[in-house]
């Protein structure tokens, strides 16, 4: 069964060349959809989280100099808010695991 949550995210979209100090803040509102019946398995929670991130990327998309990009802060905020609103332990665990630090190899 599909459920939905409405989310609000303030996002900074660059509106000027990279060397300029000017930027616009835009408020993004979205309704994200998920299937609450699969949230009690690791596979279902992982698939749900991936779907939420994919939906957030679509909402946080910006056309910058003819190229489509998405605002990473907007996506991160929207995903965090979605996980918090859904409040499912398995989904929260998947989200927390996705924030593990990445160690870069050094010489």
Average pLDDT, the chain: 77
Report how far apart the first and last C-alpha atoms of the chain are (Å, whole number). Answer: 50
Q: Where are the domains of the chain?
A: 2-98
The pLDDT of residue 35 is: 92
Residues 6+ apart with CB under 8 A from 40: 88, 90
The pLDDT of residue 95 is: 94
Digit-coded pLDDT (tens) for 37-80: 999 999 999 999 999 999 999 888 887 787 778 888 888 989 99
């Amino acid at each position: 069964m599909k459920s939905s949550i409405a989310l609000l995210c303030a996002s900074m979209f660059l509106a000027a060349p990279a060397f300029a100090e000017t930027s616009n803040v835009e408020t993004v509102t979205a309704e994200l959809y998920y299937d609450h019946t699969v949230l009690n398995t690791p596979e279902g929670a992982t698939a749900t989280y991936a779907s939420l991130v994919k939906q957030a990327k679509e909402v946080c998309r910006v056309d910058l100099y003819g190229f489509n990009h998405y605002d990473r802060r907007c996506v991160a905020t929207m995903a965090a808010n979605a996980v918090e609103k859904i409040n499912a332990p398995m989904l929260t665990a998947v989200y927390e695991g996705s924030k593990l630090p990445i160690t870069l190899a050094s010489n």
